[in-house]
Structure 1
Amino acid sequence: MKIHAQALLFDNDGTLLSSIESVYRCWTRWAQEYGLTAEDFQGVELHGRTAGEIIAELLPADRVDGALARIEQLEVEDAPGGVVILPGTKELLGALPAHRWAVVTSATRLLGEARLREVGIDFPVMIAAEDVTRGKPDPEPYLLAAARLGVDPARCVVFEDAPAGLRAGRAAGMKTVALATTHDRSELDADVVIGDLSAVSVQVTAQGVEITAVG
């Protein structure tokens, strides 16, 4: 599939890199510290959501701030050696001018930056959890990224691995490319579904970016 765009917007974890082992290691330790059981965690989706939203489901309101600070500390400390870059990421980002792409993550800025630094990715623009009042699947994060880049949302393409992120991209009026890195293809509703970013090539022109994605 060929798509013409003026900006490419990338989710971070599960799209550019993977921290799945670190996530489960840190959240397991966090749960033990806060006296939560495996049953408490049943049905709680950890991927593609802000830590604040997850913790608010599990703990009383007066414990959320402290618990949020603790999980951020655990995950930032675990970033060295705890994340791996996914196939195609460096090649694709290396082909893009800085003003043509952004990272849009549900993680905090501190954590998002720590993970990207660990895999050697320099990013021009990042929208993180503290930049928005409503996280994915609300379109606010992606709309803010488009505004920061000065691009019409309709001329943006979202790259996501999580259903919530894909819903956010569609709600923002953007084209969507789903990566089957963390979810089965049957769960991914997008304009095109690919295995990972190695299936994407780009050609930069004066008008924008020509994207070829092979599902």
Structure 2
Amino acid sequence: MKIHAQALLFDNDGTLVSSLDSVHRCWTRWATEYGLTAEEFGRVELHGRPAVEIAADLLPADVVPEAVARIELLEVEDVPNGGVRLLPGTKDFLDALPADRWAVVTSATRRLAEARLDAVGILPKTLIAADDITRGKPDPEPYLLAAHRLGVDPAHCVVFEDAPAGLEAGRAAGMTTVALATTHQAHEVTADLVVKDLSALSVLVTDGGVEISVRD
């Protein structure tokens, strides 16, 4: 299978990097600080959602701004403690792309996203973070904004995601979707193409765009 595109849009956590251990450490501490029970905390989906939405699900509205600032600080401070690592295939895949053909689209705040990306040596020219949008995934706004910033028709973009909410956002934006089975089982995600991670793919840049193929 080959996919042709003009621009590639990547989720960060679970797609380019893994920060699951850090997320677990920091959010568990955060929940304890805010007096949440394990049952209350366990009902909320953390992965692929902006922190402000998670906090709003768990805490009174007047506490949310302070709570969001607190989890951002905890996660940023945890980055040097081995809080992030590259997933297989990420470096080779991104190194093959011109800087103006791809973007990172994350539910993390810009401060946290930049800390994690800098720690593993990823320097996107275009980064869409939680600070840039009014509605997070599964709303298509983040991916539509990325396409706009790159100057590419959404129909000519490919979204790379590991989370169902992100894949839903990509589909809603009218984009081709590629799911990476890094945080969910292959049968738990719906996409135009499902692979284990970026190491399963090869990329060829031509005058006409970008061609993505599944490795033999």
Q: Which TM-score band (shorter chain)?
A: over 0.9
Q: Which residue of structure 1 lines up, in the alignment, with residue 78 of structure 2? A: 78
Alignment of 1:164-175 (within 5 A): 164-175=165-176
Give CA deviations for 1:145-186 in whole Å, capped at 9, x if unaligned: 000000000000000000000000000000000000000111
Tell me which amino acid in the other structure corresponds to 1:209. Answer: V
Shift of 1:42: 2.1
Distance across 2 between alignment mates of 1:175 and 1:213? 15
Q: Which residue of structure 2 lines up, in the alignment, with residue 8 of structure 1? A: 8
Distance across 1 between alignment mates of 2:188 and 2:125? 31
Give CA deviations for 1:93-132 in whole Å, capped at 9, x if unaligned: 0000001000000000000000001111111100000101
Residue 54 in structure 1 maps to residue 54 in structure 2? yes
Q: Which residue of structure 2 lines up, in the alignment, with residue 185 of structure 1? A: 186
Tell me which amino acid in the other structure corresponds to 1:15. Answer: T
Give CA deviations for 1:53-105 in whole Å, capped at 9, x if unaligned: 00000000000000000000000000112111000000000000001000000
Alignment of 1:11-160 (within 5 A): 11-80=11-80, 81-160=82-161
Shift of 1:187: 1.0
Give the 3-state SS of the residue equivalent to 1:203 in structure 2.
strand
Tell me which amino acid in the other structure corresponds to 1:73. Answer: L
Which structure 2 segments of 5+ residues have no match? none
Q: Which residue of structure 2 lines up, in the alignment, with residue 176 of structure 1? A: 177
Give the 3-state SS of the residue equivalent to 1:79 in structure 2.
helix
Tell me which amino acid in the other structure corresponds to 1:133. Answer: T
Give the 3-state SS of the residue equivalent to 2:94 in structure 1.
helix
Aligned length: 215
Task: Please identify runs of 4+ aligned residues in structure 1 that moved more than 3 A.
Answer: none
So what's the TM-score if we normalise by structure 1? 0.98
Tell me which amino acid in the other structure corresponds to 1:60. Answer: P
148-157 vs 32-41, greater mean Cα deviation: 32-41
Give CA deviations for 1:16-65 in whole Å, capped at 9, x if unaligned: 00000000100011011111110111221000000000000000000000
Distance across 2 between alignment mates of 1:122 and 1:109? 13
Give the 3-state SS of the residue equivalent to 1:106 in structure 2.
coil
CA 214–45 in structure 1, closer or farther in 2 if over 3 Å, else same: farther
Shift of 1:214: 4.9
Alignment RMSD: 0.9
So what's the TM-score if we normalise by structure 2? 0.98
Distance across 1 between alignment mates of 2:190 and 2:215? 16
Distance across 2 between alignment mates of 1:207 and 1:152? 14
Which structure 1 segments of 5+ residues have no match? none
